[in-house]
Structure 1
């Protein structure tokens, strides 16, 4: 069953236009690298926000105010970066109860427990009976960085970063906000929306569009197996990957257009 309000799958033309319009705004090197990582590696916005320089490049020694680097062939994404993980204490999420589900057996057991406590005059707090929150498991994955446009974007961006600050550490965040601090997932999510919706005027595009576009391309256009897509996406269950088998909006639009003409005599 597909989710409602899914992120837009970009066409090649929309992706090319996004890259071109980025050049008209500030920090084109950084923004191009952000978009390339999202669309070519399918990283979640939290994973991108938590990337460090050492994840994508080896830094050389600083010499005469200059610093060399070498891009890695494979991005080894740690499990701590993945969905639901409290990576580096920079992405802590708060959970507020809005809905609770019980099985019939557990509900009957809970009612009897409350009855016993009430008869004994014990204090009863609703939150003490909430079921345990299921936490997402992190999953590490190795992603080859062999796409030419991706490597060029990263090289241009890192060259720009090191030219302005040769003393960077390998553990420094890969991407910084215009204020000079690391991105939070929420801030980066808003930045992706800004670039795609306002700059490129692509409706319903979001920080998840890159990930969904890549997965849709792998499953629909390349006809790769679900197992390959699952490995790239870092999904624990293949059932999650199967969500991306939903046809993209462009396929639906083409089908409706063709069907409409078939009724014309």
Structure 2
């Protein structure tokens, strides 16, 4: 069940340090909101990249040129968001198949079918016999936005966005790059890793650290059931959630320190 190279689980002290150093760089409001959503809701990078303003807030009436908004209580994440950037047609898939597999029964049937076609002199194209590609099944989920720091970060960031551009639409991306366009999942992945590794100096932290930190806290610290963790993570299968039952690095370090105290020489 264990995987090598897992993203680092941040301690509360490391998370606080990350939030502190973010304010030493440009766009602290946006970056704080990004980190809060990653660590408090456990969204995947592609899900964060696809978020629209309407997913987290509702616009109110315009008053003297100022737009008002109200933050929602629940983030209703559409199933399509879990399918990556192609969910909103921002990119096209370049997937190429390298391996295919068949059951023994299907392979036997396939060989007999090809044999019949060959005897009849029919043209045989190997790709016609490939099994269908299994499409990733997205899963929608409702995530309560109850954390005070999370709500404050999103509200502060949205207030700045609206002050700069009162014409914002509810369908606009929640997070935008320096150039004003939406983040691609790859660009956002690099940015989240940059903040944690370069800015905060947290070794082996990555864009997945927020998600893994949240899941690890739910399972190990809060002692919640795997079903609850599965629902928050949006996993189709509970077996995927079980990956997060792996103990965090802090627990391993504590165990090794204790051994060192008992076996001195």
Distance in 2 between residues matched to 1:190 and 1:122, nearest whole Å: 51
Cα displacement string for residues 11-45 of structure 1 (whole angstroms, at most 9, x for unaligned residues): 11111111111111111100100000000001111
User: What's 2:134 paired with?
Assistant: 134
User: What's 1:63 paired with?
Assistant: 63
Q: Which segment drifts farther, 86-95 or 221-230?
A: 86-95
User: What's 1:215 paired with?
Assistant: 215
User: What's 2:77 paired with?
Assistant: 77
Q: 1:32-51 alignment to 2 at 5 Å?
A: 32-51=32-51
User: What's 2:183 paired with?
Assistant: 183
1:91 offset after TM fit, Å? 5.1
Compute the RMSD of aligned alpha carbons: 1.7
User: What's 2:123 paired with?
Assistant: 123
Distance in 2 between residues matched to 1:33 and 1:123, nearest whole Å: 58
Cα displacement string for residues 193-237 of structure 1 (whole angstroms, at most 9, x for unaligned residues): 111122122222222111111000000000011111111111111
Q: Does 1:18 align with 2:30?
A: no
Give the conservation status (yes or no) of the 8 Å contact 2:60–2:68: yes
Q: Number of residue pairs matched?
A: 265
Give the conservation status (yes or no) of the 8 Å contact 1:85–1:137: no
- Specify every segment of 5 or more residues in structure 2 that has no aligned partner in the other structure, as ranges: none
Distance in 2 between residues matched to 1:9 and 1:157, nearest whole Å: 26
Go from structure 1 to structure 2 and tell me whether the alpha carbon gap of 1:179 and 1:264 turns closer, same or farther (over 3 Å shift).
same
Distance in 2 between residues matched to 1:44 and 1:222, nearest whole Å: 21
Give the conservation status (yes or no) of the 8 Å contact 1:67–1:162: yes
TM-score computed with the length of structure 2 as normaliser: 0.94
User: What's 1:54 paired with?
Assistant: 54
Go from structure 1 to structure 2 and tell me whether the alpha carbon gap of 1:139 and 1:92 turns closer, same or farther (over 3 Å shift).
farther
Distance in 2 between residues matched to 1:54 and 1:101, nearest whole Å: 42
Secondary structure, in 3 states, of the residue corresponding to 2:212? helix
TM-score computed with the length of structure 1 as normaliser: 0.94
Distance in 1 between residues matched to 2:100 and 2:201, nearest whole Å: 39
- Specify every segment of 5 or more residues in structure 1 that has no aligned partner in the other structure, as ranges: none
1:245 offset after TM fit, Å? 0.7
Distance in 1 between residues matched to 2:91 and 2:46, nearest whole Å: 7
User: What's 1:169 paired with?
Assistant: 169
Q: Which segment drifts farther, 3-12 or 28-37?
A: 3-12
1:93 offset after TM fit, Å? 3.3
Go from structure 1 to structure 2 and tell me whether the alpha carbon gap of 1:234 and 1:92 turns closer, same or farther (over 3 Å shift).
farther
Give the conservation status (yes or no) of the 8 Å contact 2:9–2:210: yes
Give the conservation status (yes or no) of the 8 Å contact 1:84–1:138: no
User: What's 1:257 paired with?
Assistant: 257
Cα displacement string for residues 106-128 of structure 1 (whole angstroms, at most 9, x for unaligned residues): 22322333333333333333322
1:54 offset after TM fit, Å? 1.0
